[in-house]
Amino acid sequence: MKYPTSLTVCASLLTIRLFHLYIIRSWYVPDEYWQSLEIAHYITFGFGYRTWEWIVGVRSYLSISWIVIVYKILKFFSLDTLQFLIWSPRFLQTLFSTFSDYCFVSWIQKHSKCLNVFWPVVCYMSSPFLAYCSTRTLVNTLETNMTTIALYYYPWSLRNKDVKFLWIVALVCVMRPTAIIVWLPLIAFDFFAHKRYTLNNLARYICIGLTSLMLSITLDTYFHGSFVVTQWNFLYYNIIKKVNAHYSVEHWYWYFVSGLPPVLGPIFFIFIYCFIKKIKHINLNDIDSKLIITVFWSLSVLSMIAHKEQRFLLPLFPMIFFITSQQISIVCNKFIKLGTFTVILNIIVLIYLGRYHQIGSTRVMPYLAKIPQNSTLLFLMPCHSTPLYSHLHLNISARILTCEPNLNGISNYTDEADIFFENPNKWLDESYSAQSNNNLPTHIVMFEVLSNTLHAFLTKGKYKNVLSMFHTDFPSTRIGRYINVFSCIEYPDQYNYFEGRFR
């Protein structure tokens, strides 16, 4: 079968990802900003917010070094406008995702048993969860990109003895240590299939690993200000001290029931069919068998970790779509209307998630970025519910409710956010009493579910609701349908700008 030219494929993939970049304006998880843009802003401009992960040295600066470079260039040429700071990293992430998409297409064209990869590629590119994350500055997105590229360069044929994929794997593992879970089976398959247990090959493995590790240690020590091995700290705090359990704990079977099925959609049923079919005839020389073992192994090990999130499954997506590619092609070619309907439904889901669900967190920031320089901000929301300095670019006083885990082993520990929501008025009275020496903030940002609870405080402080921004159709106990901004000082220009109700 004659395939389109590389230029046509690249242009098509880039067009799709640029569409995703245009669509995705919503809030997903704090890490998109607080573990990337915020710390890069702090490094580049000298002010910002560092979460506890960067203070104790849990995260590797390798994962955000490219954002720091972008910000440094913008600063050097005096182009550090708010729009450039927000969108230039996302644009570069989109380009990198496009390159990994091209590697995925080339990989299944070259190695899969699928004769026509059109439908597998269309399903892969329209996968709502993958598209939802592909343009975000998440370390999980970067990890997925690098994993896809490494899978393309992986020596699937015995004739191919190249080890360039190991450099990519080593970098992704020092950047995010849990990546070793995914790559351990594939490295073992390569090691024994190509008989790399000679002295020269072992020396090559060790050299690649140590070089990547030393690069990370050097970079992390420089930015951290003292010697630090972030990979060890990552394992120590998350595995040994289990501080990640502070953010949520799920049952061991969560990934199999609630994690993978929703993000894969209809492809999940095809994957289960392919898994059952292949598990009966495992052949370690077969690519699908290797990938089936890798996916099952990864899901099993990740299930042992208390804290679970769907985004942790992103690096498995290229493998799952490779495994299901032949069956996707068969089903979609046989039921073209069903395949077309699925793609259209995927696009509708993506548009809703990208444009309407949890949209207030990002939409409120441009308005806050226009407040006077002498203003003070207080966010009375679940911690990290919005971006901060990376979306303000103002060196103003801003306070958020923190939710740091129990790093010091304090008995009956409760984080600040939980303390606040247990009794909001008491927290405010203690924080802004005469004894605290804290002046009342000029602006308070909160979900509307708190407005009635804090009515007395807001009235006493002479606050006015200057903005009400739609956030979500699915409010919860602490997260409301709208985000409200209150101001205790009337700035005529800002008041006219803020006033109104937005959806």
Instruction: Report residue 158's pLDDT band, with 50, 70 and 90 as the boundaries.
Output: confident
Of 90, 87, 81, whose CA–CA distance to 45 is shortest?
A: 81
Mention every residue, 6+ apart, whose C-beta is less than 8 A from residue 485: 364, 367, 368, 443, 444, 445, 465, 466, 467, 468, 469, 498
Cβ atoms of 438 and 471 within 8 Å: the answer is: no
Cβ atoms of 109 and 6 within 8 Å: the answer is: no
DSSP assigned state of 251: -
Of 154, 144, 165, whose CA–CA distance to 108 is shortest?
A: 154
| Sign of the four-CA dihedral 188, 194, 195, 198 | negative
Dist CA 381 CA 116 (whole Å)? 49
Dist CA 299 CA 319 (whole Å)? 13
279-336 pLDDT per residue, tens: 888 888 899 999 999 999 999 999 999 999 999 999 999 999 999 999 999 999 999 9
Helix (H) or strand (E) holding 446: strand 443-447
**Token code pair at residue 427:** 């927290």
Cβ atoms of 466 and 495 within 8 Å: the answer is: yes
Across 132-142, average pLDDT: 97
Dist CA 407 CA 56 (whole Å)? 10
Q: Average pLDDT of the chain?
A: 93
Dist CA 231 CA 219 (whole Å)? 13
Q: Quick count: other Cβ atoms within 10 Å of Cβ 24?
A: 22
| Sign of the four-CA dihedral 92, 387, 63, 84 | positive
Helix axes 287-303, 317-334, angle to 10 degrees: 120
- The amino acid that residue 339 corresponds to is G
392-414 pLDDT per residue, tens: 999 999 999 999 999 988 888 99
What is the pairing mode between strands 464-470 and 501-502? parallel
pTM, to two decimals? 0.94
Long-range contacts of the stretch 232-240 (C-beta < 8 A, 24+): 233/56, 233/57, 233/58, 234/58, 234/59, 234/60, 234/177, 235/177, 237/56, 237/58, 237/407, 238/58, 238/305, 238/307, 239/305
Dist CA 404 CA 34 (whole Å)? 13
pLDDT tops 50 at residue 421? yes
Cβ atoms of 468 and 502 within 8 Å: the answer is: yes
pLDDT tops 80 at residue 436? no
* Percent with pLDDT over 90 in the chain: 82
Mention every residue, 6+ apart, whose C-beta is less than 8 A from residue 102: 6, 9, 10, 13
Of 37, 68, 259, 245, whose CA–CA distance to 137 is shortest?
A: 37
Rounded to 5 degrees, φ, ψ at 123 are -65, -40
Region for residue 48 given its phi and psi (left: phi exceeds 0; alpha: psi -120 to 50; beta: otherwise): left
Cβ atoms of 388 and 49 within 8 Å: the answer is: yes
pLDDT tops 70 at residue 435? no
Of 111, 33, 77, whose CA–CA distance to 384 is shortest?
A: 33
Biggest alpha carbon distance in the chain? 78
- The amino acid that residue 85 corresponds to is L
Strand partners, 399: 378
Cβ atoms of 417 and 379 within 8 Å: the answer is: no
Of 248, 243, 244, whose CA–CA distance to 410 is shortest?
A: 243
Instruction: Report residue 1's pLDDT band, with 50, 70 and 90 as the boundaries.
Output: low
Dist CA 382 CA 480 (whole Å)? 11
**Token code pair at residue 331:** 């089903």
Across 207-233, average pLDDT: 96
H-state helical runs in 236-363? 254, 260-264, 267-279, 287-303, 317-334, 336-355, 360-363
41-67 pLDDT per residue, tens: 999 999 999 999 999 999 999 999 999
pLDDT tops 70 at residue 2? no
Dist CA 46 CA 42 (whole Å)? 5
**Token code pair at residue 198:** 């000679």
Helix (H) or strand (E) holding 443: strand 443-447
- The amino acid that residue 113 corresponds to is K
69-109 pLDDT per residue, tens: 999 999 999 999 999 999 999 999 999 999 999 999 999 99
Mention every residue, 6+ apart, whose C-beta is less than 8 A from residue 379: 385, 386, 398, 399, 400, 401, 444, 445, 446
Dist CA 142 CA 242 (whole Å)? 24
Dist CA 144 CA 315 (whole Å)? 4
Dist CA 174 CA 429 (whole Å)? 45
